[in-house]
Homo-oligomer: A and B are copies of this chain.
């Protein structure tokens, strides 16, 4: 995903805004973290309800500001609400606290451990998901679930949508009696760097470009007191089609891949960007080429994204990259799809950098055995996808082993777009997919980014959090003397 949080010297307006938001966030965090966890679950459900209620206000604004189709935005709004509800379920269930009790034994002290919130979190909204990765996106929902207050750097491309969603969130906060500054926002284009540098901010979450994410990560790491910074940045999402699969179902696979390249005008972090197909996969390539060639031009999110996409396509121009379609970006920043072809050995340099728009590069392999080093060269990925026939399992196995080392999600069949928000999702991966390989920004485990463990040693019951007492009011899975009790 791409956006533009510039790491320029902040303006005075930005400094004032950041100071105000962080001061309020630090105060409201103290309230939030002292609430019982079921209150936070209730809050998340109230937010989900408020967003659904306000859909008629929010959706037209989002459509106007992003030029994304209403149908897609409507599904995204539902996903945003469902995501808040998933985190409500995560909080209620309680496993995320990793509660553990080691009773006294052999003269050793009693230990009781659980996760606590890190502190106020800075969240950077993405441009391509004005709802699901913006003001009340997954970062905000998971941070609130963890018990962290949030300061959002809103995205410059959808300011009115951001304000409308923030209003819904604040209404829900008021209805549950929680200070509305638990979710604060800053919007000055130069506020991002100052926000990450603010000593009251304890962690950061970001979805956007490699350049933007890395520059904020660097600020977080260079602070006097460094903080964790979780940036989801850049992925080319390789797809490998095995020989028999390509022969058996060129129409099906080609159609699926073409649709995934076209969806949301290719402005998805999981868009398949590099396709490795067998040498003789003429029909598969032809299906994709035709499908992409006839597709209408689609409006892109913003002139900035459109122009960066055009620049990326221009960087592919070389003797070694052959265009298969006549894709382009027009003056109304709408794009038609680009499919290009290169050789396996030329698959390097600019064609291995994310092209954020409707474009993909094909390379043909003579033998599946030549694919693993190519996957390694591609670096960290959010996803790697395989299409194979059941008879090809053993030949593909070594490729899968490489994909597991390089990616956060490995698919067999289907396409990587359309990320399921569930308990078992991983939306992450080694650098440059993210700055934190151990984390996910989608799914239940995303809450873990905003937590840290504390152990209480020999503390009396009255001084322990409810979750660690002998008889918690709201039971949860705990590990007692090494044994997990669900």
A residues sitting closer than 8 Å to B (CB atoms) are 34, 89, 93, 95, 98, 100-102, 108-109, 111-113, 116, 118-119, 202, 217-218, 221-222, 225-228, 379-380, 390, 393, 396-397, 400-401, 404-405, 407-414, 420, 422-426, 428, 430-432, 435-438, 440, 443-445, 448-449, 451-460, 462-463, 477, 479, 481-482, 484-486
Does A437 contact B412, Cβ atoms closer than 8 Å? no
Select one of B111, B408, B414 contacting A425, CB under 8 A. B111
A227 CA to B437 CA, complexed, in Å: 8
B residues in contact with A455, CB < 8 Å: 408-410, 424-426
Does B484 contact A95, Cβ atoms closer than 8 Å? yes
Does A116 contact B404, Cβ atoms closer than 8 Å? yes
B residues in contact with A396, CB < 8 Å: 463
Name the residue on B nearest A411 (C-beta). Answer: B457
Q: List 28 A-B contacts (CB under 8 A).
A: A95-B484, A108-B420, A109-B414, A111-B425, A113-B445, A118-B438, A119-B405, A217-B221, A221-B221, A221-B226, A225-B379, A225-B380, A228-B436, A400-B463, A408-B453, A408-B454, A409-B456, A410-B454, A412-B456, A412-B457, A414-B458, A425-B455, A426-B455, A438-B449, A440-B453, A477-B484, A484-B486, A486-B486
Majority SS at the chain A contact face:
mixed
B residues in contact with A221, CB < 8 Å: 217-218, 221-222, 226
Select one of B118, B412, B440, B457 contacting A460, CB under 8 A. B412
A472 CA to B457 CA, complexed, in Å: 37
Select one of B34, B226, B428 contacting A435, CB under 8 A. B226
Known A404-B454, A440-B453; further 8 A-B contacts with Cβ < 8 A: A93-B484, A109-B411, A113-B424, A218-B221, A411-B457, A423-B479, A426-B453, A438-B448
A437 CA to B454 CA, complexed, in Å: 10
Name the residue on B nearest A220 (C-beta). Answer: B221
B residues in contact with A422, CB < 8 Å: 102, 108, 111, 482
B residues in contact with A448, CB < 8 Å: 438
Name the residue on B nearest A217 (C-beta). Answer: B226
B residues in contact with A98, CB < 8 Å: 445
A113 CA to B411 CA, complexed, in Å: 12
Does A431 contact B225, Cβ atoms closer than 8 Å? yes
B residues in contact with A202, CB < 8 Å: 430, 437
Does B454 contact A409, Cβ atoms closer than 8 Å? yes
A379 CA to B50 CA, complexed, in Å: 39
B residues in contact with A116, CB < 8 Å: 404-405
- Given A390-B460, A404-B116, check contact A89 B482 (CB 8 Å): yes
The 5 closest A-B pairs by CB, nearest first: A221-B221, A111-B424, A100-B424, A486-B486, A426-B455
B residues in contact with A222, CB < 8 Å: 218, 221
Output the residue of A101, A217, A426 with the most chain B CB within 10 A.
A426
A113 CA to B422 CA, complexed, in Å: 11
A350 CA to B411 CA, complexed, in Å: 55
Select one of B109, B118, B411, B414 contacting A437, CB under 8 A. B118
